[in-house]
Amino acid sequence: MLHGNNFLLFIYAVFVNGKFCKDPKLAKAEDFYYSGLNIPRNTSNPVGSTVTPVNVAQIPGLNTLGISLVRIDYAPNDGLNPPHTHPRATEILVVVEGTLYVGFVTSNTDNRLIAKVLYPGDVFVFPIGLIHFQFNEGKTKAVAFAGLSSQNPGVITIANAVFGPNPSINPD
């Protein structure tokens, strides 16, 4: 049960985009800070990649700012960030290590593949909502960083959505 000053805080709490909006007078450096994107992540998993997000869940100060960031680590020899889409964001990816084959598919009815091999320092853009992927075709690990035009871009991995829903989609 809330009472006293706690009750008043609850009554006047403001939520924007489903996240608590702190009174700017109470903001501190930790609300705008994240550490650790320099640390390589484990890619020993079925797809051979790991995405480390830095969005409003990690940095509360991103709320309403419309941006986020991810680090993507790819295993050597076929590490894959499988086909997926971000329903709320455009993505801009920069390769910092390794060689990636990247691409996206345009929308119906063309469904054209637009793809390119990227090297360190190369940048590629994936338009909002389009299915895209990254694949490490090199023999060494790869690392990329991506900026996204949303504080909470969302992600839909296509294979998981089609073949793994609960309940499952009728195969007919």
List helix spans (H) across 26-170: 158-163
pTM: 0.87
What CA–CA distances, in Å, run from 91 to 61, 103, 135?
20, 12, 16
Binding site per annotation, positions: 81, 84, 86, 91, 132
Q: What is the pLDDT of residue 165?
A: 92
Low-confidence stretches of the chain (pLDDT < 70) are 1-13, 15-18
Q: What is the pLDDT of residue 17?
A: 66
CA dihedral 95, 143, 86, 131 (to 10 degrees): 70
Binding site per annotation, positions for oxalate: 81, 86, 91
Rounded to whole angstroms, the Cα distance separating 133 from 29 reads 34
Q: What is the pLDDT of residue 15?
A: 66
Binding site per annotation, positions for Mn(2+): 84, 86, 91, 132
Which sequence spans correspond to the domains of the chain? 43-164
Closest CA to 17 of 64, 65, 69, 67: 64
What CA–CA distances, in Å, run from 112 to 92, 95, 103, 155?
19, 23, 10, 21
- Angle among Cα 144, 74, 150 to the nearest 5 degrees reads 45
43-164 placed in CATH 3.40.50.2000: no
